[in-house]
Structures are given as C-alpha cells and as structure tokens.
Amino acid sequence: MADSNVPAQLLDIVAEAADVDLSAVTPEKSLRDDLELDSLATVDIATRIRDELGVKISDEDLAGLQTVADLIQYVGRHS
C-alpha cells in the first residue's frame, strides 16, 4: 500500500460503521456475521473509503467483500 495509514483509517471507518470498539475490528472478522453490518452500512463504508481514501468500490465488488481483510486487500490493490 502506498499510504501506511490506510489500514488504520480503514479500520476506523469499519469500527465507526459497526459501532464497535476499534479493537473488535480485526482482519478475520466477517463484515456481516461478526460485525453485523447490513447492506446500508457497507455502502456507507464504501462511500467513506471513496471520500477519505480515494478508492472507489463498485457495488458488484462490494458484494464480494466478506471480511475486514478483504477490504484491506481491495483498498491496497486499488490505491
């Protein structure tokens, strides 16, 4: 990743959307099952990633991202 702050920023975005403590957001966590994010919350995450990190996630790609690690890898590949 070009920006070493991206993982921390990404984890902050996910923690806020899930309304959980940052320590609860680990790479292996499932966005839907573990963090209980619904489709609206995942769209909010994608919007914030676009606005704050400059990475656009299409709706199709977003549907395939299942874990926090998936998000980190996606942002890393597209930043």
Q: Are 11 and 68 in contact (CB under 8 A)?
A: yes
Tens of pLDDT along 35-56? 999 999 999 999 999 999 999 9
| Class of the CATH domain delimited by 6-78 | mainly alpha
Q: What is the 3-state secondary structure (H, E, C) of 27-53?
A: CCCECCCCCCCCHHHHHHHHHHHHHHH
Under 8 Å CB-to-CB from 49, ≥6 apart: which residues?
10, 13, 55, 57, 71, 75
Does pTM surpass 0.85?
yes
**pLDDT value at 75 more than 70:** yes
